[in-house]
Structure 1
């Protein structure tokens, strides 16, 4: 069976102290890719004549320049897939933009370049003239639309289900390597290992133990899986967002109510009182134009992000993740009198007294 597979780019491991407490380490690793809830993810489709790159052509011993630009029919499948995730009632927003420098997610349609996406917040480390997501084949056939849902799942912070250490999958490894080395993937052993055989660290599993029906589960031909026995004849997920997928999205990105977040007033600390993985939001409306600092306090690992409201939409200004460090998250930005700014804080973990707070000054 000729099944095309997504290939996640390699991610460097987080730079964390070697002697970090196991509970802190696990909490940081489990949430390091997820966005702060309430983020507006702007996406851009490459559209320039020079947008493209030279790639090896699968199955051929040649290289050539191939465009990243896709037709409206391909773009529409991706737009529909963003709507499908949003229709779950999650707290993220997806907005298409025409300027690549405004986009957190930059999307190409390079045929032969494989399909892939950066996982969650790791997209922020990619240069603005480069792709964070690519679709390497035609998305318009009904059985290929799942590819767009799958890659957007990665962009939300989801990883491959079949690589969960809790799945209990035992591979016929040589059969897997041989299968992926042939058409239509032509993968070398290292890429097959990274995307299929390799087990995730248990701390990376921030969703279910294993959901064979997940949109993040690859299909597999007969003869590749030895255990569980029922999948020896093949594993064929439906290619739709499963209930477990939806539960993941709603857990990390619950829908927002209409209530305005509380004000964070200068020089007044606001207790957080968060459980691990939970988030608090605050509104800052400066009474003077100047540089302000926003910081967390307490024995904690946290992500702190500052947004400016522009046209009623929060736009990212700056942020810091202090996970694994001895200090606290702190950002400084020039804020303008009367404008509205949103402070979002998500707690990885806390220790000691467990008391945490945030302050603006």
Structure 2
């Protein structure tokens, strides 16, 4: 998505700015008996990361890593992306970001293939759907040297944010043929199917946090006159202010609030920890085994959760295992050998529970 206040983002004689292309992935399929608020909370939350995770990003270099040469970006473009990660982190969120030179360690793998559009998988899809280190999870298909918001936008997708102009609560009524005609022209040159998927298609209400539309979101495309019929205030176009809006900041701080030492609860063998949190919230635990052996870390109760286990090392947290029981009749469970004297972190996010405080977690 091109930055609204960057002149280079709209090329003279072109009918529209460069637009981000959403990756088309299969919709979430839940069992028929999973519906209502339970379904809403699972679909809205399941692509979000466990808060406190350090997401590592990798730039393909096209020379020594065996990737195509045209995946390599310039130093300036890579610095724009690094600054965009910093823009999100500087909001004080609990997530961490760090560059790695080993693509096998990276959750986020970035290419700069010209003409392939700018895109990113959404949230945890980058690991659930793109497991190969030889595949990109994010691409920048045009020169983003002067387009910080393009990089912020794509990282927003990686954090789990969808396109705001597809918010079903926006009330936007498109002049569909005008939209198709505009996006068929350069620089996007999209098919009708691509335009529908990225613009006209409404998101399911279950995918959207909140019920209000934010036309200033960094996740919102700018639109020129004549593309929107209703509301009347948008007939002359929508031009986001640029940068992260107040609601963008509210979204990311809700799912990824800052973490401090006091947020970590000590786990002890065979002592149940009540999950007295609301849907969408997270608890963090620290466990220091007194004996090296195989342990079970398990949730109990009628609830949907995702649980992730890390080892805390001098170089940072290392992912060991995880389990997501959302939409099932099972509970999250990790069976793993842990070593005496080491420190482990358990991060558990609640999707939904029949009632607050009705579940628990235990190591035994």
TM surpasses 0.5: yes
Deviations along 1:281-326, whole A, 9 cap, x unmatched?
Answer: 1101112222222111000001111111122522221111111100
1:51 aligns with 2:70: no
In the other structure, the counterpart of 1:4 is 18
- Residue 334 of structure 1 and its aligned partner are, at CA, apart by 2.4
2:29 aligns to what? 15
Aligned match of 1:351: 354
**Is this contact kept in 2: 1:119–1:155, CA < 8 A?**
yes
* Structure-1 residue corresponding to 2:8: none
Q: For structure 1, which runs of at least 5 residues remain unmatched after alignment?
A: 53-65
Q: TM-score, normalised by structure 1?
A: 0.93
Indicate which of 191, 204, 212 corresponds to 2:215. 212
Match of 1:123 in 2: 126
- What CA distance in whole angstroms lies between the structure 1 residues aligned with 2:56 and 2:184? 36
Q: CA deviation at 1:89?
A: 0.7
Equivalence map 1:134-213=2 (5 Å): 134-141=139-146, 144-207=147-210, 209-213=212-216
Count of residue pairs brought into register by the alignment: 346
Separation in 1 of the partners of 2:22 and 2:254? Answer: 23
C-alpha distance in 1 between matches for 2:82 and 2:122 = 19
Quote the offset at 1:263 in angstroms. Answer: 1.5
Q: Is the 8 A contact 1:299 1:353 kept in 2?
A: no
Q: Which runs of 4+ in 1 moved over 3 A?
A: none
CA distance in 2, matches of 1:328, 1:360: 14
SS state at 1:255 partner? coil
Alignment partners' CA distance in 1, 2:318 and 2:356: 34
Query: 1:77 maps to which residue?
Result: 80
RMSD: 1.4
User: Of 324, 329, 336, which aligns to 2:327?
Assistant: 324
Q: The residue matched to 1:175 in structure 2 has which SS?
A: helix
**Cα deviation digits, residues 185-238 of structure 1 (max 9, x gap):** 111111111110000110100256210000000011211111111211111112
Contact 1:165 1:199 in 2 (8 A): yes
The CA deviation at 1:352 is 6.3
For residues 125-171 of structure 1, give each alpha carbon's deviation from its aligned partner in whole angstroms, at most 9, with x where no partner exists: 21221111110111112xx2210010011111101001011000000
Among candidates 241, 244, 263, match of residue 244 of structure 2: 241
Please say if residues 275 and 357 of structure 2, whose CA atoms lie closer than 8 Å, have aligned partners that are also in contact. Answer: no
Quote the residue 1:42 is aligned against. Answer: 56
* SS, match of residue 77 in structure 2: helix
Q: Are 2:266 and 1:268 aligned?
A: no
Question: What CA distance in whole angstroms lies between the structure 2 residues aligned with 1:232 and 1:333?
Answer: 58
| Residues 230-262 of structure 1: CA deviation (Å, up to 9, x unaligned) | 211111112211111011111111111233612
Q: CA 1:170–1:325 in structure 2 vs 1: closer, same or farther (change >3 Å)?
A: same
Structure 1 residue aligned with 2:117: 114
Q: Report the Cα distance in structure 2 between the residues aligned to 1:255 and 1:344, rounded to whole angstroms.
A: 14
